[in-house]
Amino acid sequence: MHVLDNGGTVRGFRYWGTRTLPQRMRRQKQFFNYGDYWFMHFDASPKTLKGLHTLLRKDPRVIRWTMLKEGEKIEDVVELKEQTIDHSSAFDSVTSTSTTSPAEAWKF
């Protein structure tokens, strides 16, 4: 996927189903009355957005797309939750002489 390959983050991806288009649309010398609607919520750099725009324009399966900017900074879009993870108990179980494997000890 273009966004992930270029350092972006995909936060959500939903299929909204096949729907009647608001108006008949022409793309690649064909007319369309129905289309599949998809929604992808992502964070990406301007360079990645430009590359995604080029990719969507060249894809014959894509009739129309829209990209909306939700904010200037990540703080404008996402609430940052303060979170602390205590890794000391997992580290102690890995270093001790227990019968669990290291992969099992790191499961949360």
Tens of pLDDT, residues 38-91: 998 888 888 998 999 999 999 999 998 888 887 776 666 666 666 666 656 555
- Cβ distance 40 to 12 under 8 Å? yes
State the Cα–Cα distance between residues 29 and 23, nearest whole angstrom: 16
N residues, the chain: 108
DSSP 3-state of 37: strand
Position 86 scores a pLDDT of 60
- pTM of the shown model: 0.59
For residue 95, pLDDT beyond 80: no
User: What is the domain count for the chain?
Assistant: 1
| Residue pLDDT, tens place only, 1-18 | 688 888 888 889 899 999
CATH of the domain at 70: 3.30.70.60
Is 83 in contact with 94 (CB distance < 8 Å)?
A: no
Q: Range of 87's domain?
A: 2-105
Q: Classify the phi-psi angles of 15: left when phi > 0, otherwise alpha if psi is within -120 to 50, otherwise beta.
A: beta
